[in-house]
Structure 1
Amino acid sequence: MNTVRTVKVGGDYHYTIAIGADLLADGARLAHMLRGRHALVVSDGNIAPLYADRVEAALRAARPDLVLQRFVIPPGEQEKTLARFGECLEALASLGATRDATVLALGGGVVGDLAGFAAACWMRGIDCVQLPTSLLAMVDSSVGGKTAVDLPAGKNLVGAFHPPRAVIADTSTLRTLPDRELRAGLAEVVKYGAIFDAHFLHWIEGHAEALLARDEAALAHAIALSCEYKADVVARDPFEHGDRAMLNFGHTFGHAIESEQGYAGTTGEGLNHGEAVAVGMVLAARLATALGMAPTEDADRLQALLQRLGLPTAIPVGLAPESLLARMRLDKKADARGLRFVLWTGAGKACITSGVDEGAVLRVLTHG
């Protein structure tokens, strides 16, 4: 019998995260999340051929009355646009989706963000069930209800907070996940240890090879613990007015890199999200050291772990520090006092720091 782990997200917008193998074929579990008779499966050109038929067959067996359609976008961050968002709304219109309809986001973070934003806006908000198929989406973007699309000016600048009705993470999908995407997800797993729990960071160091080898027990433990950390902070701060911002450790630097590269990670011409966050975490740790907040040894340890996991830890060649700094000024985490970063005072101890001197940031961007 498959073991299903559950993590409960509390607060005013409570829901459950289910983690286990073969959950996409569990029609009863999927159908239980649908309040009405309309459902739109949103996926992309990589994931839909692998799993969409399975999800739809399971739903139809459990709910023969269901009016079910599929909307598929091309893969890649560059597709997370207002234009694709509009097409998703048109798909809901074609479905005849009513106020009790459900959007099923089947895929990675791009699909989850786009589908969740469409669900947030259709008739001022309908249910969204997140079905993450990448490690990164399982431990990060599917949990917490942050939905958005990108603009040429920056990442995730247009969006809404829209907590999901449920998250169903089928760990068997990780068997087909490309190695690069697995490593990208491990960057976000490392983030939770870096900002919340030095013991978890130590556990990752001891299980790095098992995680890279896709050991199911190790991955399930890493996913469940990551989700528990995120669920705890989301319950306290659902709209990112305080502590939840700590989840952005490494993201200010990382988003600037992604934006400057034109979200070219999917084509292999740039870093993907997890890779950019890996670089960003190292830069954030180095910035904390430069500001006298944390020891150099902790930054070295973080960099070494990310390198063991096969992740980049340096800014890609050809990106100008001044251009990256300009991107950060537009980052949605900036405030009236200037640049705002999630830094740390050492492993497992994150803090939000506003009004960071741009000169210090520029020196880190230039010299690492």
Structure 2
Amino acid sequence: MQTLNVDLGDRSYPIFIGTDLFHPDNLTPYIKGNQVLIVSNETVAPLYLEPLKAVLPAVQIDDVILPDGEKFKTLAQLNAVFDRLLECRHNRTTTLIALGGGVIGDMTGFAAACYQRGVNFIQIPTTLLSQVDSSVGGKTGVNHPLGKNMIGAFHQPQVVLASVDVLQTLPDRELSAGLAEVIKYGLVYDEGFLGWLETNMSGLIGRDASLLSYAIYRSCELKAEVVAQDEKESGVRALLNLGHTFGHAIESCQGYGNWLHGEAVAVGTVMAADLSQRLGWISSDDYQRVVQIMQAANLPVTAPRGMTPEEFMTLMSVDKKVVDGQLRLILLKALGKAVVTDQFDPAALQQTLTRFAA
């Protein structure tokens, strides 16, 4: 097992990465009080709920099982978590455990942030995307029909358990979606890591445990460094949203869940690279590297058919990175170096949207 630390003073916490992580030693120290509520979904619970319960200390253990999918990341489903907490009389020393992918992690964290004005929670992410991204850093929330992740709070977990074992049951499409976020770290911060991914992509797609462990470790290491500098995304943390402004527009337009988050981010990242090339910041060869690594990860590189430039602009205008009506984008100054900027030629953005939208 490898351990990383997210350094946030008295709110610091460890990330455990490895195999066979369902062990009392990894959980008991982080459970406060004598009550636990496990939040999972209909896909993950049949696989891992009982093994998790078996290693928890002898406390009151309750669970709530939600429908699976991004379209269920709503206030209505969040209320089911609150219903269960109240029905089972959980007090303010309870610990919530998120057992699932990014949707479950975000919703559980948001419930923990809100219930009795804040209780403890533990992240046990079961998808690659959630292991390398959403489970780390304390971003929690739900979607709204008019915008993704527009309702939420920052609330840090007690511990994150990223078990490589669970990725063996992950569908191929979900694995590829997670690789989009892994690739992002190389593009934003570390061209050397990007090169490593290019060399080892076939092994990652083949679920080589040692390769996946390193990819998860390096991704979490980079994210932990950023979160320690900028917990609430007032500065450098926004760089982690490379591809997300375009990608969130795709998700919103297509209906949450029809495109996986990582698939939309992959296309959004290619669009950001296209715009960066038009601005003269990266070369055509750099742009092709972005396209090729996404394709090697079995990810889409073109926008949904029928989505118009006007739809992109309308949906991008409600992105969280819009400040005082000014759209800001994360673009590439070079491979391994990203910037947050509103200093781009609107005509170049329109050319990118026209190229990718029907």
Instruction: Give the shorter-chain TM-score range.
Output: over 0.9
How many angstroms apart in 1 are the aligned matches of 2:292 and 2:115?
45
- 1:31: which partner in 2? 28
Tell me the residue number matched to 2:296: 308
Equivalent position to 1:184, from 177, 181, 187: 177
Over the residues paired in the alignment, what is the CA RMSD in angstroms?
1.1
Distance in 1 (CA, whole Å) between partners of 2:275 and 2:90 is 48
1: CA distance, partners of 2:121 / 2:286: 39
Contact 2:279–2:344 (CA under 8 A) maintained in structure 1? no
Output one character per residue of 1:296-342: Cα deviation in whole Å (capped at 9) or x when no partner. Answer: 22111111111011100110112122111100001111111511111
Q: 1:228 aligns with which of 221, 226, 230?
A: 221
Q: Is the 8 A contact 2:15 2:159 kept in 1?
A: yes
- With structure 1 as the length reference, what TM-score do the two structures score? 0.94
**3-state SS, counterpart of residue 143 of structure 1:** coil
Bigger mean CA offset, 343-352 vs 289-298: 289-298
Counterpart among 99, 102, 127 of residue 134 in structure 1: 127
Deviates more, 1:195-204 or 1:82-91: 82-91
Match of 1:96 in 2: 89
Q: Secondary structure at the match of 1:181?
A: helix
Of stretches 350-359 and 81-90 in structure 1, the one that deviates more from structure 2 is: 350-359
Cα distance in 2, alignment partners of residues 55 and 356 from structure 1 = 49
Residues 36-69 of structure 1: per-residue CA shift (max 9 Å, x gap)? 111110001100010011101111xxx22x1111
**Match of 1:217?**
210
Alignment of 1:258-297 (within 5 A): 258-265=251-258, 271-297=259-285
Distance apart, 1:188 and its partner CA: 0.5
- Secondary structure at the counterpart of residue 83 of structure 1: helix
Alignment of 1:64-75 (within 5 A): 64=58, 66-75=59-68
Q: Secondary structure at the match of 1:207?
A: helix
SS at match of 2:334: coil
2 CA distance for matches of 1:173 and 1:264?
A: 21
In the alignment, which residue of structure 2 is the partner of 1:194? 187
1:79 matched to 2:84: no
Q: How far does residue 355 in structure 1 lie from its aligned partner after superposition?
A: 5.1
In structure 2, give the amino acid aligned to 1:5: Q
* CA drift at 1:288: 1.1
The superposition leaves residues 245-282 of structure 1 with CA deviations (integer Å, 9 ceiling, x where unpaired) of: 000000000000000011132xxxxx200000000100
Q: Which amino acid aligns with 2:263?
A: E
Q: Answer yes or no: is the 8 Å Cα contact 1:253–1:280 preserved in 2.
A: yes
SS at match of 1:195: helix
Name the residue aligned to 1:6: 3
Matched, 1:164 2:162: no
Name stretches of at least 5 consecutive residues in structure 2 with no aligned partner: none
Once residues 22 and 353 of structure 1 are traced to their aligned partners in structure 2, the CA distance between those partners, rounded to angstroms, is: 43
Which whole-Å CA distance do the structure 1 matches of 2:124 and 2:142 have between them? 18
Q: CA deviation at 1:139?
A: 0.1
Aligned 8 A contact 2:279 2:345 in 1: no
Sequence identity, in percent? 46
Q: How many residues align?
A: 355
Structure 1: gaps (5+ residues): 266-270
Give the C-alpha shift of residue 366 in structure 1: 1.3
Q: Does 1:42 align with 2:30?
A: no
Runs of 4+ aligned residues of structure 1 deviating over 3 Å after TM superposition are 355-359
Equivalent position amino acid for 2:14 in 1: T
2:140 matches 1:147: yes
What CA deviation, in whole Å up to 9, does each residue of 1:57-82 have, x standing for no partner? 111xxx22x11111111100000001
TM-score, normalised via structure 2 length? 0.97
- Structure-2 separation of matches of 1:260 and 1:211: 30
Residue 268 of structure 1 is matched in structure 2 by none
